[in-house]
Amino acid sequence: MGAGKTFQSLTLLLGCFCLSIGDQVPADGLFMEGHSLLVDESSMTGVNDFVEVDKDQNPFLISGTMVADGYAKMMVTSVGINTTWGEMMSSVHSESIEQTPLQARLKKLTLLIGMFGLVVGCLVLAALLVRYFTGTTTYENGNKEFNGSKTKADDVIKAVVGIIATAVTIVVVAVPQGLPLAVTLTLAYSMRRMMADRALVRKLSACEEMGSAAIICMDTPALLLTKMEVTKSVVGAESMEGRSYTSIADNVLELLIQGISLSGGSVHKLFSVAPMDDAIRSWAVMKLNMEMDNTIHGLSILDVEASCPEKKRIGVLVERQQDNRTMIHVHWRGDFERILSSCSHYYDNCRQAIVLDDQQRARFHQTAKDMTVSGLRCIAFAHKQLSEEEYENERAHRKVPDKDLILLGFVALRGTCHPDMKQAVEICQLAGVNVKMITGENISTAKAIALECGILTPAQEVNDDGSIVTGEEFRQYQENVRTEIAENISVMARSSLDKLLLVQSLKQKGHVVAVTGDGINDAPALREADIGLAMGIQGTDVAKESSDVIILDDNFASVVTVLRWGRCVYNNIQKFIQFQLTANVAAMAINFVAAVSTGEIPLTPAQLLWVNLIMDTLGALALATGNPTDELMNKPPIGRSDPLITNIMWRNIVGVASYQIAVILALKFKGKSIFSVDENVVDTLIFTTFVLLQVFNQFNSRELEAKNVFKGIHKDKLFLGITGITIVLPVIMVEFLNKFAHTKRLDWKQWGACIGIVAFSWLIGWVVKLLPVPKKPILNILII
């Protein structure tokens, strides 16, 4: 729970548990010890205000609430279903399953195609009934099937039921029932693969939405490695470069070491252990000769003001016994500018506290600025010894004093970008995705990090084009101005809740926005964004609960992986739609033409249902489990208003379906004379050819635009395996289950003819892809 702590909710037992800022309270319990604990209970009570929890007035902690400030040790009293949250959830008997946006669009598409199939089915029903009752249809011996009153009632009923069954089967086959299965398969498959790629998907809709993401707002934890190091330091008013700790006055050295120990996490396990703390402690051990175990001997912690992204500092009030006297000290550590603004004195080389005048303050500022320009982060340390009056006032107001501090020194830390960070940013930019850095760092540090990571170009750094702003500047703009300039911003420094304003401004412009975050302050932006991406290592529970996806390794490269899979999900669904609509259009057209012209349909209800099984189940498995390709990242993001069935898909559907219709109708009307066989063999040829045409069309559907449909097919073992099964099944149907399937066995020449016809569809598919298509979407009714 929180940074640096591992917690498994399933194994939580009764006992003690530690809480810090950003944690979710894992169970019901009692406050045992801690400081300044504020809990957000809005999820349980509906009251949007923080509740103070202490040992005397309000010691109760409720499962599912969030720690907004402070830290504490709690005694767990109830877990699981026995908690307040568990009892509330057990009273909920049912929960509505929310559809993802893509599933909603596909539901509408299914309804439209089903309506079209219903029309075709009704037309076939009417045509067959008219032909039957007008005496047009005949038996094999030439006698009319219906001959007025001479026809037995049982024969009429049997014929009418058969006609209705045929019409109903056409309607059933026309409805693309495999689409929901295809969506479920591709989402489940992509979620599993993303988990292997260090991304945990919490909401299914995120898989789809990420394919449409046009902007990614990044925080620094996703850009930098977790390991940091101190590269420069100033103690008192002098740089430590080339100096030993022995040159530091004893009292200043002792206070600085105390400040590092108290605020860095080594005193109490309730403090979070961040990479910054590790780096500062390592520097203190090496440079100041700090002993980890003896630095806090004789100190008692009285109060703590914990650190959070908004405060960017931590204060610790301690009691110390010295010469039979009780002394109260306060130590502060945090962002250089915030700490320096609270200081009124500093130590000189003679261990004296000197008034911090404007001239010396300016020198400190310039030193820190020189550090931050190089991309370093400055952390300052300050302290103050409290009088009895100040201490009593602190106890009354429950606030750690932060005025008139004495500056002890400051250090500069460097955080290195992830090795593959720059390449990942370039991939996003080539994919038409704009990467923005939204950080709490000062503007100089933010510029340096953005340049190193490739988010900012040297030209943008030099030119004042509005691509670099601070949160305060952005906040002061009018809402309409913010909306206009938001797209142009590449770096926003000194931002906290301003990230939410930026996301809102970008969404108002119609962009699909993804946001990364790790702290409590990021939670509103994560919830507001179309896709919220929380950091798995440094992220707080609040951030994770507000997110759609958790990046388990805190690496931006994993965000790019989510982007690739988001586009792949959409692309896989489009492939399956093209495949199924080709078969549906061909089947409906063939049966309609045959029914109107001959009164018979070439594909029987049983055969149509068998084809439907192949299309819905095996076709979905083959096409919905495709992997992302580099070509997907060379295209712009998929717009929310973009048609689900593109002009390219319509071209492919109409072209290949036309070939299938022509071939099957040719077999229907000329099959006897071409192969010199009876009607039953022709029907078998039609069934076999039609099934294999759909199997071979899976290859054409592998690529919506590329002409080489076999590219990378050797890597797609699942596709090859499923295709092999779908080829073997019709062979079994014809050769071994012919009585059940109402088919006749075929000889080698007839099988060769079938294979030749279906193989030629590959060439047809290749030729069709040479045809140009208009840029403006056609059939706007299917832009759903």
* Active-site residue list: 219
Tokens of 22: 């950003």
Contacts of residue 640, Cβ cutoff 8 Å, sequence gap at least 6: 101, 212, 512
User: Which residues are registered as beta bridge partners of 40?
Assistant: 50, 66
Backbone dihedral angles phi then psi of residue 284, each to the nearest 5 degrees: -65, -40
Q: Give the separation between CA 372 and CA 729, rounded to whole angstroms.
A: 68
Cα dihedral across residues 542, 547, 549, 554: positive or negative: negative
| DSSP-derived 3-state class of residue 749 | helix
Q: Is the separation of the CB atoms in 440 and 495 below 8 Å? A: yes
Distance of CA 453 to the CA centre of its chain: 22
d(CA 588, CA 171): 9
- Hey, which residues does 314 pair with through a beta bridge? 333
Q: Give whole-number Cα distances, 93 to 46, 88, 89, 99, 435, in Å.
A: 21, 11, 8, 19, 43
Distance CA(489)–CA(486), nearest Å, equals: 5
Show the DSSP H helices in 275-335 as ranges. Answer: 275-287
Enumerate helices (H) and strands (E) in the chain, giving the number of each: 27, 22
Closest CA to 566 of 254, 206, 163, 223: 206
Residue 412: is it exposed, middle or buried by C-beta count within 10 angstroms (0-12/13-18/19+)?
buried
* Beta carbons of 557 and 624 less than 8 angstroms apart: no
Diameter over CA atoms, the chain: 126
Find the Cα–Cα–Cα–Cα dihedral 385, 386, 388, 394, rounded to 10°: -150
Structure tokens at 131: 């032909």
Task: State both tokens at 93.
Answer: 């008997």
Residues 6 or more apart whose CB falls under 8 angstroms from that of 488 comprise 465, 466, 467
Query: Cα separations (Å) of 183 from 426, 561, 733?
Result: 30, 19, 29
What are the start-end ranges of the E strands in 707-757?
none
Q: Are 522 and 547 in contact (CB under 8 A)?
A: no
Show Cβ contacts of residue 759 under 8 Å, excluding neighbours closer than 6 positions.
696
What single DSSP character describes residue 627? P
Residue 238 burial (CB count, 10 A): 15
DSSP run (H or E) holding 39: strand 28-40
First to last CA, the chain: 42
How many residues are recorded in the chain? Answer: 784
Distance CA 147, CA 687 (A): 31
Residue type at 105?
R
How far is residue 649's CA from residue 655's CA, in Å, rounded to a whole number?
A: 10
d(CA 485, CA 474): 9
**What SS3 class is residue 734?**
helix
Cα(393)–Cα(86) distance, integer angstroms: 42
- Which amino acid makes up residue 305? E
CA–CA dist 533, 254 (Å, integer): 42
User: Cα(125)–Cα(118) distance, rounded to whole angstroms?
Assistant: 10
